[in-house]
Structure 1
Amino acid sequence: MVTIKEIAAAVGVSSATVSRVLNYDSTLSISTRKRQAIIETAEALSYATPRARNRANQQGLTKLALVHFLAPERELIDPYYVALRLGIERRCAMLKIETVKVYHTDARPDATLLQDASGVIVIGRHDEEETEWLRRHARQIVFADHVPPDDRIDSVAADLPAAMEKLLVALAQRGYRRIAYIGWGDRRAQAFVQWMTAAGWFDDRLFRSGDNTEEGGYRLTREILAERRPLEAIVTFNDSMAIGTYRALDEAGLAIPQDIAVASFNDISVAQFLNPPLTTVHLPAEEIGETAVELLLERVGGRELAKRITLASQIVWRSSTRLQAGKNP
């Protein structure tokens, strides 16, 4: 497991600075560049080096345009997407493929950036109109972390409904019944409602959707606590929201997991440094990025039939949830 000290040494800052950045301390005065370096280094040191692969498939793919659905400053709020991007960039560096990053703005990117590239990888969700525009201007295109409805387009993503069901089953086995959810209304939220309803445990007053940031997690957790409903655990959309949940529970004088457990998604580097360390579903961000590059290589090599690849998730149990029914760590 990577340590804060190792991250600090790699970036050239103090351990205290790393800790404050990873815990989203809004009072810390630090440049955006330095903050980005800390977050990227934390993700990079946790990265498992991909196995060497045959480079013969590289022929024809010399330049890749990377289109991100987030602006640079928004990407730093959720290091999961930093890890996904690093997975793409590392695989490209290994294969000597040039990458050009195109971040989200209010306007569409310059079409020539896409047309000049051998292929395009699109990170995150884009609506149907944006997807069609991107497909029209790209020679070859792959979506990473989003499955567009257009079945002509390659994509790779984690199976979020299966991940949510896996987490809820495991929490139930540990004795949790009154479980709240905060986050976006995406596929994992839909899976939460379906599974909890089937179990007879769903309470719509313990379900909130909103901004998937640390501040959003703080605000939505406070709203749920204000309902004064019996509550045993909170599942958050991502680890960034979980940090806000920790803060709200601490302000309310509630201990984790003795009073309320917390579980989340993504397994970003921050999760292991929280107090207590956060139970979270590891979504394979780096592997999604690597696989997107492999799909693009296949397309450039002549494959015509579209592929949709789904990668599995894994629960990383830490002490923000009890280890078994009735027993806290």
Structure 2
Amino acid sequence: MVTIKEIAKAVGVSSGTVSRVLNYDPTLSVSEVKRQAIIETAEALNYATPRARKTALLPTFPIAMASHAEVSAQIAIVHFLAPHEELVDPYYVGVRLGIEARCREYKIDIARVFNPDVPVDLSMLVGVSATIVVGHHPKVEIEAMAKVCPQLVMADYNPRMPQFDCVRADLGEATLHILDSLDQAGYRRIGFVGGYELMDNDALMHGEQRCKAFIEWHEARGCYRPELLALGQSERFGQNLRLETGYQQAKSLLSLEVRPDAILAANDNMAIGTYRAIQEAGLSIPGDIAVVAFNDIPVAQFLNPPLSTMRIPGELIGEVAVDLLVERLNGRDYSKHVTLPTDMIWRGSVNVPSNT
């Protein structure tokens, strides 16, 4: 496990500065360049060690992985988060690092990067060999991009458009695994904090993988309680899964006449906000309420207590997205949908199930 001291040494700052950045201390005065260096270094170190230990378990792609031969191509990246939003979600920093690292190995030039601060200009996709689309994007946007640049690869999102390659983790199955484990450990009143885009359609409101799986798991057991589902909303999905949203939605769950005995957060940032709400209420974790989340960003292991979270291989998702892109450029004429495994990391925020 990487330590704060190791991160501090790599970046050239104090351990205290690293700790405050990783714990999202709003009172810390540090440049955005230094903040980004700390987050990216923490993310890179956190992923390198487990990958090295598990090399034999990684999927292989014969065409792309043969020798990382140089590929003559220019690609674009279309990200659903603005740079400042990415910085507060190190999971997506990992996805980007994976894309950039694999592109360097293939000598692929990243010609264009688009995000909410720099909206997609379709004319700038003309002549680009392929595009990696990161995160959630409306189908109409994907269809418009495909008319200009047919070679699209979806990273960390499946738009249910089978003609395009995609790589992601199965968050629905991961959610069911967490819920089964919490149930086995004796938790009976589980709350959920998540988010959704501003939509009029209720089906879309509850359509996100984790939320949908949460509802279906409870409905199958005849114990679904709508009041235990707390969803933040905004114009863009990427703005929902933040510390502040987790804090507000957790407060709404804690205000119930009968509060939950466990809270499942849609990502680690929301879990950090949930921690704050629980601690402000004078309650303990996990004595009064257990907390579980997704992603396993570097800060998760440094929280008090350390956060139980489903590790999603963000950096590997980025790497495989490039591998898929290279396969396409090398002539593959059918689509691939790759699902990477997740890994549950039980820590002190839950009374750990007996079978883990």
Interval of TM-score (by shorter of Structure 1 and Structure 2): over 0.9
Q: Helix, strand or coil for the counterpart of 1:55?
A: coil
Q: Helix, strand or coil for the counterpart of 1:46?
A: helix
In 1, Cα distance between the equivalents of 2:304 and 2:274? 12
In 2, Cα distance between the equivalents of 1:283 and 1:265? 7
Task: Report the RMSD for the aligned CA atoms in angstroms.
Answer: 1.8
Offset, 1:311 = 1.4
Amino acid at match of 1:294: D
Mapped pair 1:171 → 2:182: yes
Residue 109 of structure 2: aligned partner:
98
| Alpha-carbon spacing, 1:106–1:16, altered in 2? closer, same or farther (3 Å) | closer
**Contact 2:296/2:312, CA 8 A, preserved across alignment:** yes
Amino acid at match of 2:83: P
- Counting aligned pairs with the same residue, the percent is 50
For residues 173-215 of structure 1, the C-alpha deviation after alignment (integer angstroms, 9 at most, x for no partner) is: 1111110000024111000011012123322111111121111
**Contact 2:68/2:105, CA 8 A, preserved across alignment:** no
| Alpha-carbon spacing, 1:73–1:230, altered in 2? closer, same or farther (3 Å) | closer
Q: Helix, strand or coil for the counterpart of 2:81?
A: coil
In 2, Cα distance between the equivalents of 1:137 and 1:289? 23
Residue 30 of structure 1: aligned partner:
30
Residue 110 of structure 1: aligned partner:
121
Mapped pair 1:262 → 2:299: no
**Contact 1:55/1:95, CA 8 A, preserved across alignment:** no
Counterparts of 1:112-127 in structure 2 under 5 Å? 112-127=123-138
Pick which of 32-41 and 115-124 moved more: 115-124
Residue 253 of structure 1: aligned partner:
282
In 1, Cα distance between the equivalents of 2:19 and 2:118? 36
Mapped pair 1:188 → 2:217: no
Residue 276 of structure 1: aligned partner:
305
Offset, 1:32 = 1.5
- Aligned pair count reads 324
Residue 244 of structure 1: aligned partner:
273
Counterparts of 1:33-72 in structure 2 under 5 Å? 33-48=33-48, 53-55=65-67, 58-60=70-72, 62-72=73-83
Residue 136 of structure 1: aligned partner:
147
Amino acid at match of 2:179: L
Q: Helix, strand or coil for the counterpart of 2:47?
A: coil
In 2, Cα distance between the equivalents of 1:252 and 1:6? 34
For residues 98-151 of structure 1, the C-alpha deviation after alignment (integer angstroms, 9 at most, x for no partner) is: 224523236632334423432111101110111011112225210101112322
In 2, Cα distance between the equivalents of 1:59 and 1:207? 47
Offset, 1:90 = 1.0
Offset, 1:56 = 6.1
**Contact 2:71/2:108, CA 8 A, preserved across alignment:** no
In 2, Cα distance between the equivalents of 1:33 and 1:106? 18
In 1, Cα distance between the equivalents of 2:13 and 2:257? 43
Residue 93 of structure 2: aligned partner:
82
In 2, Cα distance between the equivalents of 1:124 and 1:27? 30
| Alpha-carbon spacing, 1:245–1:22, altered in 2? closer, same or farther (3 Å) | same
Residue 167 of structure 2: aligned partner:
156
In 1, Cα distance between the equivalents of 2:352 and 2:122? 52
Pick which of 126-135 and 92-101 moved more: 92-101
**Contact 2:253/2:260, CA 8 A, preserved across alignment:** no
**Contact 2:82/2:117, CA 8 A, preserved across alignment:** no
